[in-house]
Amino acid sequence: MIPSSLIYDKATALRAKGYRDLLSLAREEGIRVNYREDFENLLGMYTCILDIRFIYLNSRLEGPLETMVFAHEIGHDQLHQDQVQGTLLLENSLFDSTSRTEYEANAFAAHLLLDDEEVLEYLREGMELSSVSRLMNVNENLLLIKLSELKRLGMELNLPFEPDSQFFQKIHV
């Protein structure tokens, strides 16, 4: 199990580098990115073969969903590279809370995509979670993971509910 503080530190360190987009970030980090037309319900996949790192994304992904899947796969690269040498991490349900590695990649994606102060400012203004997630172009479940992780890191936050661990299974691309 990777400590929440390490996940947070790795994601915020990448944010601090100021990459203009996730494709640039992946390329600068040495990750090869390929879009696959033959993925039916598979959203994305990460593997590392002979120290060459690969992210495969479903070519039908677009907008916020593509961004979340991409950030999640970068999370696998940054957190689980040593565990996947020669194997595949397949993403059918990005928010499957029963898998520790999936949750860790989700937490990484949440920290990579969502700025702490921006999220907290919206909440201080009294915005509903659904409004904040729409404004920040992420699924509400990713926002809830961000807040859960901030709480684990010591922030005093009252979370209204847990993320729906099944929502990605309902998405067909």
Give the range of the structural domain holding residue 100, as residue numbers without chain letter: 4-114
Q: Checking phi first, is residue 122 left (phi over 0); if not, alpha (psi -120 to 50) or beta? A: alpha
For residue 159, tell me if it sits in a domain.
Answer: no
| Reported pTM | 0.90
For residue 157, tell me if it sits in a domain.
Answer: no
Q: Specify the CATH number for the domain of residue 109.
A: 1.10.10.2910
Contacts of 130 (CB under 8 A, 6+ apart): 140
pLDDT tens, position by position, 85-122: 666 555 544 444 448 888 899 999 999 999 999 999 99
- Count of the separate structural domains present in the chain: 1
Q: Strand locations in the chain, DSSP E?
A: 31-36, 44-49, 52-58, 88-91
